[in-house]
Chains A and B, each alone.
Chain A
Amino acid sequence: MSLKCEHIVKTYSGRDVLQDVSVEFQPGKIYGLIGRNGAGKTTLLSILTAQNPASAGTVTLDGEKVWENRSALEKLCFSREISGSAESGISAMKVKEYLRIASTYYEHWDKALEKKLVDLFQLDVKKKIGKQSKGMLSMVTIILALCAKAPYTLLDEPVAGLDVVAREQFYKLLLDEYTATGRTFVISTHIIEEAAPLLEEIVILHEGKVLVEGNTQEFLDTMAYVSGRDADVDAATAGLEVHHTETVGRSKGVTVFLRPGQRINESYDVTVQPVSLQQAFVALCGEGEKHEA
């Protein structure tokens, strides 16, 4: 019982956007999909829901192939980011129309919730998509995702255009839905700091590959920030995988990734601090800032 992709490859004009990606999404959990721009997040979400074809690999839901399988697709909802750019035909469509089409196709569409959310976000549904602000379009994306009531709901950058108040509203709504229905959510986001406490599981995608997959807390328990006098820090972290070294004079700080059985040697005079998901992500994926010790 899960949404699973195996050995997914996606190539765009000779460039591998996804390289052998295998991930499994268990029912009843909130997943965070994080990665830098161009890491392949949107492509992966699209392939998981058969909205884009993969170049290779398979996607299955409860063991059944998802591609061209209506009964599997009915259990999935990937609410895409709406670009609303003038050249796409959808810019001339009213929000109302867009939601009506969604309500036609999604079997369990919640009309009452739709009305509630439109009021909450003060959305002008009679306005065309091309005339809506980025924030308004994010709200449309959120409304579709929540009202479709699909057992697996995937959201791509749902809070991208929202101000801090609307983002808080979204997190609360997400929790309301999640606690009420226990359905699975997969959320890609760049605002990691805010979303982190909501994410039971995380998948970090880096340059088209899965870098981390697992329980958020367990992942964070394998990372630590060690700081102090440079020689002490080096000694305490000898033999460990070190990321993101920062030095100021004799003072040094490093983020370490501990493999099973490894530990920091605390007999040296160093400070060991936990890292947040955002700090861990920057340490692992901030290639440009990586200094090898």
Chain B
Amino acid sequence: MVNYTSNEPPNRAADAAQIRKKGSAINERLTEQKSIYLQIGEMIETDILRGILLEEEQVPSTNELAKLYTINPATAAKGVGLLVDEGILYKRRGIGMFVAPGARDKILQKRRAAFAANHIAPLLAEARSLGITRDELLEMIGETEL
């Protein structure tokens, strides 16, 4: 049956409240700068990365996500579908969506692969605009704690 981390009965509202306390990505606000379905996918991924959603654990249903963000269920389904295609989530017939084994590693690899394009490239562009040299930038990074 459904696997919940807490000892409480599978009460969705209580579960949602608990997630909120932990400061989950699913409870982040949507922004306008990106398609909603992509954001839904990313928020679930972030929760998996942070260990808020564990492998083999059920993720909120499309309808629950839709009501949480007041979005069309089809949009939520598209976001979830994206993760299913990538093998991060899988469907258990008649029950719902679950986090696939090895999902966390997959997300890590994916985000690492995209790190340069998503984060280094804008950083370099900004550095160029400000006239910061490569050496200066490396020095700044060296001084910053990770």
Contacts and interface: CB of A to CB of B under 8 A. Distances in A.
A and B in contact, CB less than 8 Å: yes
Contact of A172 (B33, B34, B67): B67
Contacts of B78: 217
Contact of A179 (B32, B35, B67): B67
Interface in B61-95: 63, 66-67, 69-75, 78
Q: Could you tell me the dominant secondary structure of chain A's interface residues?
A: helix
Interface string A30-45: 1000000000000000
A248 to B, nearest CB: 19
Interface in A252-293: 273-274, 276
A197 B33 contact: no
A276 B69 CA distance: 16
A168 B70 CA distance: 8
A200 B75 CA distance: 7
A168 B34 CA distance: 22
A95 to B, nearest CB: 27
A32 B109 CA distance: 39
Contacts of A276: 32
**Best-surrounded residue of B35, B66, B70 (most CB of chain A within 10 A):** B70
B67 A175 contact: yes
Given A30-B72, A197-B72, A217-B75, A274 B33 contact: yes
A220 B72 contact: no
B30 interface: yes
Nearest to A30: B72
Contact of B35 (A176, A199, A217): A217
Interface in A202-221: 217, 220-221
Contacts of A220: 35
Contact of B74 (A171, A200, A221): A200
Contacts of B98: none
A276 B72 CA distance: 15
Contact of B71 (A29, A197, A221, A273): A197
B72 A176 contact: no
A35 B136 CA distance: 53
A198 interface: yes
B72 A274 contact: no
A23 to B, nearest CB: 19
A176 B64 CA distance: 10
Interface of B: 30, 32-37, 63, 66-67, 69-75, 78
7 contacts: A30-B72, A172-B67, A179-B63, A199-B72, A217-B75, A221-B35, A274-B32
